[in-house]
Structure 1
């Protein structure tokens, strides 16, 4: 059975969000891709393992 993606809601300052989205766009990457990479890096840094899914979007 495939795992369904889960939504993570984060509240941030509107100006930071705008700056973040502009930076992501300038690097031809979505904000979601950056956040997913940050989460993977954080988990790895702390030695937390998880099962990735084949349905995840490539990054």
Structure 2
């Protein structure tokens, strides 16, 4: 799989204790926290879009019936 373009930054605030546990668990699987977060985001995108993620085939660029708010319900 080709390397993705990693130029966007995501900053989050979390509880310091959760961060410490997360970093320890990541180290236990020989992964960086960034690698794990990227995997979690990719998995989330795949679950919500119903399609495998391909960086060159960004689902956000295609029109979908649920465009806009992904949590909005049809009325």
Q: What TM-score range do you get, normalising by the shorter chain?
A: 0.7 to 0.9
Unmatched tracts of structure 1, length 5 or more = 54-59
Counterparts of 1:1-59 in structure 2 under 5 Å?
3=5, 5-47=7-49, 52=55
TM-score with structure 2 length normalisation?
A: 0.59
The structure with more radius of gyration: 2
Aligned to 2:61: none
Report the number of matched residues. Answer: 51
* Unmatched runs of 5 consecutive residues or more in structure 2: 57-75
TM-aligned CA deviation for residue 48 of structure 1? 6.9
Query: What TM-score results when the alignment is normalised by the length of structure 1?
Result: 0.74
Q: CA RMSD in A?
A: 2.0
Aligned residue for 2:49, secondary structure, equals coil
**Distance change in 2, residues 1:4/1:34 (3 Å):** closer
Structure 1 consecutive aligned stretches of length 4 or more whose deviation exceeds 6 Å: none
